[in-house]
Homo-oligomer: A and B are copies of this chain.
Amino acid sequence: MRLFTGIVLLLLTTATVAGQGKNPGQRPNIILFLVDDMGWMDTSQPFGDSVMALNRRFHTPNMERMAKEGLLFHQAYVNPVCTPTRTTLMSGMSAARTHITNWTSITPGTPTDFKDDQLQAPRWNVSGLSTTNEPNTYFCARPLARLLKDAGYFTIHVGKAHWGSLGTSGSDPMNLGFVVNIAGASLGHPQSYYGQQNFGNMPGKTTFNAVPDLQAFYGKDTFLTEALTQKAMAAMDFPIANKKPFFLYLGHYAVHLPIQPDKRFVDKYLAAGLDATEAAYASLIEGMDKSLGDIMHYLKERGVEKNTVVVFMSDNGGLANTGRGGERNTQNLPLRAGKGSPYEGGIRVPLMVKWPGVVKPGTKTNSYVSAEDFFPTVLEIAGVPLKTAIDGVSYVPVLKNPSGVRNGRPLLFHYPNRWTANEDEGYAWSGAMRLGKWKLVYLMKQQKLELYDMEKDLAEQHDLAASHQQQLKALAKRWTLELKRRGAQMPVWKNSNKPVVWPDELVR
């Protein structure tokens, strides 16, 4: 046992030196395998403490394998909708600070909030992230990809970008520091997953959601997830051949709407009795899982597996509001609600990290992390010094010591917006803070604060606000402080033109 520890320590030391960039040839490659709209339960690999009902629905053997080879996070958080998470990944800043609090429209300058009689969204950055400080954007001169590129990393973007509206610098991943961009632009979902439909590029029918590039697959029986995987692998060839460290941001369009069946996988789900929509959804999941396996296989074949960090995550919780099969708000059970909500179903996602030689295979952690932590984590892995203040905190210490849980930091989820026609379950005008075992939820229109004990009540069924007044007050005060520190904006009451009050004002 002592010998084993010695080996681990030695590997850690090597990795640290490499990470510090003292031997640039040794710097690890980094892959972000980002799934769109994938829920915490959308996998046969449990992210909870046990196998639960929905885990039995899905087949994700490659995720299971990755869990055996890396570290699994039980409590990984992101923002409730996509653009806020994606812009946070690139900037290291909280959505409360970037003011990119909702998904961005393809059309610049256009709010995407669903109309509401009583509230209106604050003036948020509706055009997304920008490297040139354009109107209605959050200005980030040196996004993550740019920092890595400047440090000599070969930076590859494949798939969904959705960082900025058309006509802005943020619409083009190359402006954010990617050397290569394949299929990324302003669109948040694909017009079609099908090569036979040219992924939407059909004159007369083409919308801005037609997926760019990929012309070689037009008219072919190639599913979008597969096409992106093949392109990603081809794109890694150059840095591997030239011994350049690379950063691959593989942002799958899957499993976002439209829920189109991937015919390679759908039959078994239909046979298992799922309805057409849910069978198609499960096939999207399994196609994504095959992609993960193909990428892993590629890394091994090219001899770079041992020097490549792979981060698997989703950008928000699984869809449970509308558009899915089955009853609303059941798709992430036992988690409550789904995408668009600050309840766990909307913000808790699968996260795994494989880092051979550093992360101990088959480990799990209860340390919680949030979307903004990805930025400093990747920079630390790459050995790139962080020269500006950000909201995120590197979770490299967790990767090295997953059992040393220190959940003493508040995580903020701020959604002063309205997503859809549905207003139940926090899908509009809401926020949340996680601190230690506690979670506060703020339903702004209802002017209601809820308090949950996440250690005992994963499903958020027992609101402790009434019974834990002192705790509630203290947490609301801290939350307000943290929101103000980040310059957060609140929605505005239409009748009074006054902003919604801060959490602490509700419980004074």
Contacts and interface: CB of A to CB of B under 8 A. Distances in A.
Interface of A: 108, 149-150, 152, 154, 166-169, 171-172, 174-175, 179-182, 185-186, 198, 201, 203-204, 206-208, 210, 212-220, 231, 234-235, 238, 241-242, 244
Contact of A198 (B166, B180, B181): B166
The 6 closest A-B pairs by CB, nearest first: A206-B206, A167-B219, A171-B215, A172-B216, A167-B218, A166-B218
Contacts of A215: 166-167, 171-172, 185-186, 212
Contacts of A213: 172, 181, 185, 212-213
A218 B171 contact: yes
Pick the most buried of A149, A172, A231, A241: most chain B CB atoms within 10 A of its CB.
A172
A220 B185 CA distance: 16
Nearest to A132: B216
A208 B216 contact: no
Contacts of A108: 219
Q: With a 10 A CB-CB cut-off, give which of A174, A182, A210 has the most chain B CB atoms.
A: A174
Instruction: Choose among A166, A241, A244 the residue with the greatest number of B CB atoms under 10 Å from its CB.
Output: A166
Contacts of A152: 241-242
Contacts of A208: 201, 203
Given A179-B235, A179-B238, 6 more contacts: A166-B198, A172-B216, A185-B213, A204-B204, A206-B206, A213-B213
A174 B234 contact: yes
Nearest to A171: B215
A166 B216 CA distance: 6
A174 B204 contact: no
A238 B166 contact: no
A210 B202 CA distance: 11
A179 B155 CA distance: 12
A181 to B, nearest CB: 8
B167 A220 contact: yes
A178 B29 CA distance: 21
24 contacts: A150-B241, A166-B218, A166-B219, A167-B216, A167-B217, A169-B216, A171-B215, A171-B216, A172-B214, A174-B182, A174-B235, A179-B180, A179-B235, A179-B238, A185-B213, A186-B215, A201-B206, A201-B208, A203-B208, A206-B206, A206-B210, A212-B212, A212-B213, A212-B215
A322 B137 CA distance: 47
Nearest to A210: B206
B216 A175 contact: yes
A206 B206 CA distance: 6
A175 B215 CA distance: 11
Nearest to A150: B241
A218 B180 CA distance: 20
Nearest to A203: B207
A242 to B, nearest CB: 6
A94 to B, nearest CB: 26
Nearest to A207: B203
B174 A231 contact: yes
Contacts of A210: 206
Nearest to A206: B206
Contacts of A218: 166-167, 171
A212 B208 CA distance: 12
A210 B213 CA distance: 12
A210 B235 CA distance: 24
Contacts of A179: 179-180, 235, 238
A351 to B, nearest CB: 30
A356 B354 CA distance: 49
A210 B210 CA distance: 12
A251 to B, nearest CB: 16
A241 B153 CA distance: 11
A206 B207 CA distance: 8
A185 B220 CA distance: 16
A251 B93 CA distance: 39
Nearest to A161: B215
Contacts of A169: 216
Given A167-B215, A216-B168, A149 B238 contact: yes
Contact of A203 (B172, B174, B206, B234): B206
A186 B172 CA distance: 21
